[in-house]
């Protein structure tokens, strides 16, 4: 991912009885398209940076359990316009209406995390290899829209 600038290095403050989140740095809007080929997710340069919630509020989803997070390390957080290409609602004509389509999101990502043991008929991979976790959080509402996790071999490519 391309980080534009470091605006702050902190995590949301923990309330009474809440776990602290690792400090992180907000990288601002992405500056080129990023494709997660195996997850069929495309992140485009956003056309606006006007958000309804702050990146700290989006990151707070890790504290509430709404997002999949690795609390042993700091994530990368950027702003993007996201589209899920093959996940969504099936239409009468057989097409898929994307679950997320050209939506302004905070991308909260961890690279180089431990992979969970694969289960079911999904693709197999070595549970000892490096994985990534990526959450797409609605930049207007702060709601987690989509999360994917898998081997780092599905790393993003930029265009």
41, 118 in Cβ contact below 8 A? no
- The per-residue b/e assignment along 50-83, b for 16 or more CB within 10 angstroms, e otherwise, is ebebebbbbbbbbbeeebbbbeeebbbbbbbbbb
> CA 76, CA 87: separation in Å to the nearest integer?
24
- The per-residue b/e assignment along 23-43, b for 16 or more CB within 10 angstroms, e otherwise, is ebbbbbbbeeebbbeebebbb
- Please compute the mean of the pLDDT values over residues 35-54 and round it to a whole number: 93
For residue 71, the model assigns a pLDDT of 92
pLDDT band at 121 (very low <50, low <70, confident <90, very high): low
Higher pLDDT, 112 or 143: 143
């Amino acid at each position: 991912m391309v980080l534009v600038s470091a605006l702050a290095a902190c995590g949301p403050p923990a309330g009474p009885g809440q776990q602290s989140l690792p400090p992180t740095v907000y990288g601002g809007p992405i500056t080129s398209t990023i494709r997660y080929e195996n997850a069929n997710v495309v992140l485009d340069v956003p056309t606006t940076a006007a958000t309804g919630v702050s990146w700290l509020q989006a990151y707070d989803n890790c504290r509430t359990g709404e997002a999949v997070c690795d609390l042993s390390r700091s994530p990368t957080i950027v702003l993007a316009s996201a589209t899920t290409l093959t996940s969504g609602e099936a239409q009468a004509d057989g097409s898929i209406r994307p679950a997320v389509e050209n939506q302004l999101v905070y991308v909260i990502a961890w690279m180089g995390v431990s992979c969970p043991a694969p289960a079911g008929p999904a693709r197999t991979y070595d549970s000892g290899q490096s994985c990534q976790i990526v959450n797409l959080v609605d930049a207007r509402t702060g709601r987690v829209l989509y999360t994917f996790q898998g081997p780092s071999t599905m790393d993003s490519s930029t265009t």
